């Protein structure tokens, strides 16, 4: 059964028209008709439909993923993803519940959701992961609860937004400023203080750059069954 058949069945069971489904779910007016005419669905739109039907995205498109995206169905978990997507056009980026989850060796138990991405749109997708921000140090640019997508990089450039770990501060997201032999971790929140390290401190502590922030996503649902388009 295709995802359109499942939407039709849901409408029939709940005695509703397609227009009502779109209106109440939050889909754009006429979206389902455009899908019927061949418009390629976006993951975020399909997620809206699945959420309204109270099913997972995987269940909604289980028979359609290969036709829609040229890929195999969405994996049940990140541990399944490498084999599932090896020959696929899509990659699945894990999202961890907090910066501290990636301080050292990330724990799969801390994965709260995944993002589906096209490698052409996300270079080095295999080196990327998401982290849910838990503090307000980068407010209002990045708020607590936002997800930052990180590309692994242990030597980021000055002016990059980075996720960085040190024994004294834990794992935080800040703007990196290089000033001579000093490294400044600059918050955007004026109520937070900048952190300054000299080169010898960087080596001694050590300070470990986990990666560069390449995207910011808000209103993310904390569900291991959710898949979002980046």
Domain ranges (residues) in the chain: 3-69, 84-230
Average pLDDT of the chain is 81
Residue 167 φ then ψ, to 5°: -60, -30
d(CA 93, CA 85): 11
Greatest mean pLDDT range, 39-48, 104-113, 130-139, 202-211: 130-139
What is the per-residue pLDDT across 119-167, written as a single tens digit (0 to 9) for each?
Answer: 666 777 778 899 999 999 999 889 898 999 999 988 899 999 999 998 8
Domain 3-69 has CATH 1.10.260.40: yes
What are the tens digits of pLDDT across the range 104-116?
A: 888 888 888 878 7
DSSP string, 153-212: -SSPPTT-EEEEEETTTEEEEEEEEEETTEEEEE-SSTTS--EEEEHHHHHHTT-EEEEE
Whether the model clears a pTM of 0.85, i.e. scores above it, the answer is no
CATH fold for the domain made of 84-230? Umud Fragment, subunit A (2.10.109)
DSSP element (H, E) containing 110: none
5 SS3 class: helix
């Amino acid at each position: 059964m295709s995802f359109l058949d499942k939407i039709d069945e849901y409408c029939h069971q709940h005695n509703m028209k397609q227009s009502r489904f779109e209106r109440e779910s939050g889909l754009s007016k006429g979206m389902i008709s455009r899908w019927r005419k061949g418009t390629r669905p976006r993951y975020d739109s399909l997620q809206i439909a699945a959420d309204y039907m109270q099913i997972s995205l995987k269940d909604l498109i289980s028979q359609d993923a290969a036709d829609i995206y040229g890929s195999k169905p969405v994996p049940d978990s990140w541990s399944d993803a490498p084999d599932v997507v090896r020959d696929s056009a899509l990659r699945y980026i894990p999202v961890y519940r907090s910066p501290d989850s990636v301080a050292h060796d990330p724990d799969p138990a801390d994965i709260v959701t995944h993002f589906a991405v096209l490698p052409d749109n996300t270079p080095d997708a295999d080196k990327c992961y998401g982290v849910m921000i838990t503090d307000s140090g980068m407010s209002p640019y990045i708020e607590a609860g936002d997800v930052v997508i990180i590309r692994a990089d242990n030597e980021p450039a000055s002016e990059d937004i980075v996720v960085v770990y040190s024994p004294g501060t834990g794992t935080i997201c800040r703007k990196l400023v290089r000033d001579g032999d000093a490294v400044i971790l600059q918050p955007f929140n004026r109520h937070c203080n900048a952190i300054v390290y000299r080169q010898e401190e960087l080596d001694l502590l050590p300070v470990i750059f986990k990666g560069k922030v390449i995207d910011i996503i808000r209103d993310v649902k904390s569900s291991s069954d959710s898949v979002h388009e980046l």
